[in-house]
């Protein structure tokens, strides 16, 4: 299952769908909604977020297990450095391995200062490259301290993330190169809203691959995609999410539509989002859809 997914990543088209567990002891409603809309048949796999914005949610690893058991498709489980030390990170990797959760998205994590839990402190013993190194050790049959494991884990496939926009491209290339050097087989970008921006990202990634001397490993860039149907969403992404650039054609069109009605705003946003999705897929058909669990909107985009 995972080898076929990696083969699609490297040599074919790929479409994955992000899920965000809720502040709830059950993940079933999300599974049911995906199945109801037939999204499990429309994508090549899923991802699960790990308490984004430091808001406490259902476990990403357990959610990944449930997604794989229900739909039989690989699921990328996010692990954040914010909430775990070296012991917990490796312990989670070992446990996940036995349950066949072997696609891992290594993330440094959002600041704990935004948490909904009182007086929360971030752990941050390292950034995402430390987790990538731990996975490299596990794939060699040793732990992060260099001690042999009692038995060799099943192979783990690590991915990482990247900003979609930077005023200084050299910094973006440097960060991509670093994550590739530490073993990432793919890098998922923040949401992209401009084809020109997407073309530049492909150029930056190609340069990072060469600098990291990873041409023979065939690492891949995956375009992050987040549909926008409301002006306030566009404004929030522009103002509060680092590494995301929303062009004025999006915000201006939504602003004018909102003056007419909320329904017109949603219609225009959907039209723009569908157009963007088609353009991104035509340019580089490796896409990761993020929609904050708005699976109905995803269905409309894919239709």
Block mean pLDDT (10 aa), the chain, length 303: 95 97 97 98 98 93 98 98 96 97 95 88 93 98 97 97 93 97 98 96 97 94 97 89 88 95 96 97 98 97 95
CB 66 within 8 A of CB 27: yes
Residue 113 has what pLDDT? 86
State residue 131's pLDDT score: 98
How many whole angstroms separate alpha carbon 224 and alpha carbon 160?
A: 12
Q: Mind listing the domains of the chain with CATH numbers?
A: 2-228+284-302 (3.20.20.220)
pLDDT on residue 239: 83
The strand pairing partners of 78, in sequence order, are: 105
Structure tokens, 161: 């993330």
Which residues touch 297 (CB under 8 Å, ≥6 apart)? 227, 229, 270, 291
């Amino acid at each position: 299952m995972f080898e076929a997914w990696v083969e699609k990543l490297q040599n074919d088209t790929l479409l994955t769908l992000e899920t965000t567990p809720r502040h709830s002891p059950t993940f079933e409603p999300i599974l049911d909604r995906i199945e109801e809309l037939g999204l499990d048949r429309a994508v090549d796999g899923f991802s699960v977020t790990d308490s984004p914005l430091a808001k406490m949610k259902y476990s990403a690893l357990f959610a990944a297990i449930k997604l794989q058991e229900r739909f039989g498709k690989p699921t990328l489980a996010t692990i954040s450095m914010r909430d775990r030390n070296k012991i917990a990170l490796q312990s989670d990797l070992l446990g996940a391995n036995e349950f066949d959760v072997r696609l891992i998205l290594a993330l440094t994590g959002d600041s704990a200062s935004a948490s909904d839990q009182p007086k929360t402190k971030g752990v941050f013993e390292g950034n995402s490259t430390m987790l990538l190194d731990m996975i490299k050790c596990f794939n060699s049959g040793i732990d992060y301290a260099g001690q042999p494991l009692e038995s060799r884990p099943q192979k783990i496939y690590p991915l990482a993330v990247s900003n979609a926009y930077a005023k200084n491209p050299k910094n973006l290339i440097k960060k991509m190169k670093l994550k590739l050097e530490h073993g990432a087989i793919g890098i998922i970008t923040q949401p992209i809203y401009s084809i020109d921006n997407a073309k530049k990202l492909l150029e930056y990634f190609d340069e990072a691959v060469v600098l990291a001397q990873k041409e023979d490993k065939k690492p891949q860039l995956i375009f992050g995609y987040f549909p926008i149907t409301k002006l306030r969403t566009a404004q929030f992404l522009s103002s509060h999410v680092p590494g995301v650039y929303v062009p004025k054609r999006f915000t201006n069109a939504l602003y004018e539509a909102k003056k007419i009605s909320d329904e017109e705003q949603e219609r225009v946003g959907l039209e723009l989002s569908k157009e963007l999705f088609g353009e991104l897929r035509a340019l580089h058909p490796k896409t990761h859809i993020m929609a904050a669990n708005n699976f109905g909107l995803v269905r409309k985009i894919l239709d």
